[in-house]
Each structure stands twice: as structure tokens, then as C-alpha cells.
Amino acid sequence: MQEYWEIYMKNLEGHPASVQFNAGISMDIEKNKHIFPTVGFVKVILKDPNERGLLREAEEPEILYMEDKLEAAMLKFRIGKYVGRVITQGSVTFIFYLQFTYNWQDFLTYALDEFESYDITNGFQDDPEWHYYRNLLFPTAVEWQIIQNHKVCDALKAQGDALHQKRAIEHRIFFTDIDQKAPFLEVVEKEGFKYMEDVVHEEGFEGVKIYRQDKPFYYDIDEVTLYLIETAGKFAAQYDGWETSLVKL
């Protein structure tokens, strides 16, 4: 399994949730779901969550240490793989996919012997299709785009970019039905976007590049891209990201 971790925020049952997951593992689900058909949980009640039900900075070292102990124990007992965690409503749930369960209790005892002050529950159940990974941990197309947005923002910020400064931001849209290009452009042009050029995806799909003057600041660019994702979906199209030039302070 590949190790490539991401962290993002989502709304879970009407509450904010911080999700960290191994994105690299998504490339191997079809192979690994037969090897690790059971999902396991360790749920820990936080001692002092913040007002949003998330982890406070003061408690973070202990929770991260617990996470390290759980992951190390999973490797020691060779019963499965750690795939992610969800922090929401005053608790953190660590999620694993298991090959064996006969030594689950031994794994827990070894990993959690230093954390008697915490209220901890656990369990496991069959999940041969990896529904918990696909539907709980793995981001939707919208959530994934926000992750990518913030990576670009971070990269621009690291180079001294003035993220609040408006500039031309280019967006790529690809169509499964190229006849939808003209009506799509008609709609987005009413919102200030301008046609730039036709483009072709590496997989052969035809599309367009459009641009508009906007701020590449985190929440501003999220709003822009979410609008384009939603609009593209109405015209048999898929949003494929954005780029812009560096504007320094």
C-alpha cells in the first residue's frame, strides 16, 4: 500500500469534522479489499474538545502519541492497516482495515496500555467493499477540489504572494459531450468569466480554458471553484483545476 496522507474539513451529520486519511491507498482498493475485508474502530472521547467539538492544541500531543502507538501496534501484530481518523463531536475515531481479528484484543492492550485516563471503545465489522473508506474518509469531488485549492494557496503564500490581490485566474473544463460547450460558456460568461482557448485532456476529452479576475485567497477561490464544479455538472462537463500568476506584496 502506498503512503500518501491528506487532511481536510467536512460536514458530518451537521457537525464539523476533521478527516485525515491515506489517499495513496485508494489506488489499491480493488486488490486490498480481498486481503483486508474487515473494518476496525477505536473511538476515544476527548478530554477537552473545543467549542466546535474538535481537538484543542493542548491535547493534540497526547492524541498524536496514541495514534502512533496504535499504528505501531497494528504493524507489530500484523493484522491490518491504519487508514485514517475522524475527529468530530468531541471524539476521535481511528479506522483500520483488518486481515485477521483473532488477536484484536492483544493489539488493543499493547497499544492503549498508557491511556487508562481516556474513555475508549472499539469494535470491528465486515466491510468487504471498503464502504467506510470510500464514503467516510475519502473526499467527494467538491471536498477534493478544496484540498487542491488550499495546496495551491499554500504554495503561492510560501512564495510571498499577495493572496488578497485580484488577478486573472484560469480554469479548465472538459466535456463528455462537446456540444454542451457553447451553452456552458453562455452561462458562465454572464458571471464574468471569459473564454480563453480550447484545450484537450490527455485522455482525449475536449474542453475549454476560461478566466476571470478573482482573489486566489483560500475561501474566495473555494467559492469560485465550487460554482464552476456545480455549473459544469449541468453541462456534461468536469472541472479540472485552476492556475494563476504570482503577485507579490
| Triad 87, 112, 132: Cα angle to 5° | 40
Q: Are strands 167-175 and 206-214 parallel, antiparallel or unpaired?
A: antiparallel
What is the structure's pLDDT at 215?
95
Ordered alpha helix ranges (H), the chain: 29-35, 60-77, 104-112, 131-132, 141-158, 181-189, 218-233
Q: Using the 8-state DSSP alphabet, how is residue 219 labeled?
A: H
- Nearest in space to 68 (alpha carbons), one of 23, 115, 6: 115
What average pLDDT score do residues 219-229 get?
93
Confidence (pLDDT) at 3:
80
212 neighbors 244 (Cβ within 8 angstroms): no
Alpha-carbon distances of 96 from 90, 123, 154, rounded to whole Å? 20, 10, 30
Averaged pLDDT score across all residues of the chain: 94
Tell me what pLDDT residue 2 has: 63
Task: Give the mean pLDDT of 26-53.
Answer: 95
pLDDT exceeds 60 at position 122: yes
Per residue in 9-21, pLDDT (tens digit) is 899 999 999 999 9
Rounded to whole angstroms, how far apart are CA atoms 205 and 178? 8
Distance of alpha carbon 36 from the chain centroid = 22
Per-residue model confidence (pLDDT) at position 249: 75
In the block, cell 505501531 appears at 72
- The dotted CATH code for 141-244 is 3.30.70.970
Whether pLDDT at 1 is above 60: no
Residue 220: pLDDT over 80: yes
Domain boundaries, the chain: 5-137, 141-244
What does the alpha-carbon distance between residue 66 and residue 93 come to, in Å, rounded to a whole number? 11
CB 146 within 8 A of CB 239: no
How confident is the model at residue 240, as a pLDDT?
94
pLDDT one-digit tens code per residue, 74-118:
999 999 999 999 999 999 999 999 999 999 999 999 999 999 999
At the top level of CATH, the class of 5-137 is alpha beta
pLDDT value at residue 92: 98
Confidence of residue 27 (pLDDT cuts 50, 70, 90): confident
How far is 136 from 175, CA to CA, in rounded Å? 29
Degrees, nearest 5: CA angle 156-159-164: 50
- Given this chain, do its domains 5-137 and 141-244 carry the same CATH topology? yes
Q: DSSP secondary structure string, 143-156?
A: HHHHHHHHHHHHHH
